[in-house]
Amino acid sequence: MSERGAAGPGPAAIQVSRIMRPDDANIAGNVHGGTVLKMIEEAGAIISTRHCNSQAGEPCVAALARVERTDFLSPMCIGEVANVSAEITYTSKHSVEVQVNVLSENILTGAKKVTNKATLWYVPLSLKNVNKVVEVPPIQYARKEQEDEGRKRYEEQKLDRLETKQRNGDVIFPVINPEPHTVGYSQSSLIHLVGPSDCTLLGFVHGGVTMKLMDEVAGIVAARHCKTNIVTASVDAINFHEKIKKGSVITISGRMTFTSNKSMEIEVFVDADPFVDEPQERYRAVSAFFTYVSLSKEGRPLPVPQLLTETEEEKRRFEEGKGRYLQTKAKRQAQMQRAAQQ
C-alpha cells in the first residue's frame, strides 16, 4: 500500500494495489465486479477509520452506510494489477464521504486504464458502544464551493436512503416450473453464515463482503437469463440499512426487474437472521440494483433476451426499471455533450 498527500488535515489519501488472481474472475477471465467492490470498500474503510481517529477522542471504526451509483467503465482481467486510490472529500458531524478511483494496470506493457469511480459514505461507531455514533473531525476545503457541493450531496443521499428503506418490504418466493426468460426462471438466492473472517473489529460484517456476495447472486441471475458470459456494468446506490452481526445467517436474494436490448437490471437484497443469542426477528439489511451486460467469447456486447413479465407486480417493477434506465441514459448523454463542448 502506498500513500500520497492530501489537501486538508487528517490522513493522507491512500492507494491499495493487488494483482488479480484466477479466483477473482469468472470462467472468461473477467474480474468479478464484487471483487472490485470489496477492494473499493476496504480502501474507503481504511482512510475513513484513520481520519475519524486522527484527533483525541473515543476510538472508533468507520462502518459503510452507502455506496453511490458505480459504473464499471472497463473490464479488468486476470494478471492485471488493480490500483485503488481513496481520499476524503466531505465530512459532516457524523459521516465521511470518500471518493475512490480504480485503475487497472497491465504490468507487462505498462498500459493503464480507469475501470471504476465510486463515492462511499461511512459512519464512525464507537469501539466501546457499537450503537453510538461518534463525531467526525472536520476537514479543510480549498474552496467554499467544495464544502457547499459536499453538503448538497450529503443531504441528497440522506433523503434517498430514507426513501429506499421505506419501500424495502418485498420477499422473493420460489416458482414451480417457471418458463425461460421469466422472473421466476432466473431468480436466485444464496445463504451465508457470517463468520469472524467476514467481520470488522466490532463484530459486524464488512460492507465489502456483503457487496461481493450481492454481486455473486446478481451474476447468477444474469447468467441464468442469458446463458452467456456476463459482466457487471454498474451498480445503483447500495444502502446499508442495518448492521449484520457475527453469527447471523444472511439470505442474499436477486431477481430480474428490467431488460433493454443490451443490459439487464437485477434487484438484490440481503435479509439477516440473528439467531445466536438474539431475540431480534429477520430484517432487511441491504438493498441495491445491479446492471449486467452479456458478452460474446470475443468480449463484444450481445443482445439480451427480453424479460417476460407475468404478474402486475412484475410489470410495475419492469416500468420502474425502465424509468431508471432512461434516466441514466439521459444523464450519460448530457455528460458526453458537456465534455464535447469543453
Q: Tell me: the pLDDT tens digits for 140-194?
A: 998 999 999 999 999 998 888 776 655 566 777 778 889 999 999 999 999 999 9
Cβ neighbours for 23, distance < 8 A, ≥ 6 positions apart: none
Q: What is the mean pLDDT of the chain?
A: 90
In percent, how much of the chain has pLDDT > 90? Answer: 75
Q: Using an 8 Å Cβ cutoff, are 305 and 226 in contact?
A: yes
Q: Which three cell numbers stand for residue 245?
A: 452481526
The whole-number pLDDT of residue 43 equals: 96
Cell numbers representing residue 294 in the block: 452479456
24 is catalytic: no
With a cut of 90, say whether residue 275 has pLDDT above it. no
Q: Which pLDDT tens digit goes with each residue over 242-253?
A: 999 999 999 999
Burial 125-163 (b: 16+ CB within 10 A, else e): bbeeebeebbebbebebeeeebbeebeeebeebeeebee
Measured torsion, CA atoms of residues 22, 24, 27, 33, in degrees rounded to the nearest 10: -160
**pLDDT tier at 6, thresholds 50, 70, 90:** very low
Residue 11 has pLDDT above 70, yes or no: no
CA distance 243 to 61: 13
| Catalytic annotation, pick one of 24, 198, 215, 271 | 215
Q: What is the pLDDT of residue 7?
A: 42
Question: Taking the mean position of all CA atoms in its chain, how far away is CA 91?
Answer: 20
State pLDDT tens for residues 95-153: 999 999 999 999 999 999 999 999 999 999 999 998 899 999 999 998 999 999 999 99
**Is the per-residue pLDDT at 235 higher than 50?**
yes
The set of residues, in sequence order, having a beta carbon less than 8 Å from that of 47 and lying 6+ positions away, is 11, 13, 14, 86, 87, 88, 98
Taking 80 as the threshold, does the pLDDT of residue 70 lie above it?
yes
Q: What is the pLDDT of residue 272?
A: 94
Q: Catalytic: which of 26, 101, 160, 168?
A: 26
pLDDT of residue 165: 59
Grid coordinates given for 53: 481517529
In the residue annotation, 23 being an active-site residue is answered as no
Identity of residue 3: E
Q: Which has the closest alpha carbon to 175: 164, 187, 163, 166?
A: 187
Cβ neighbours around 227 below 10 Å, total: 10
Report residue 335's pLDDT band, with 50, 70 and 90 as the boundaries. Answer: confident
| pTM for the model | 0.89
Q: How far apart are CA 4 and CA 11, in angstroms?
A: 10
The answer to whether residues 100 and 235 touch, using CB atoms and an 8 Å cutoff, is no
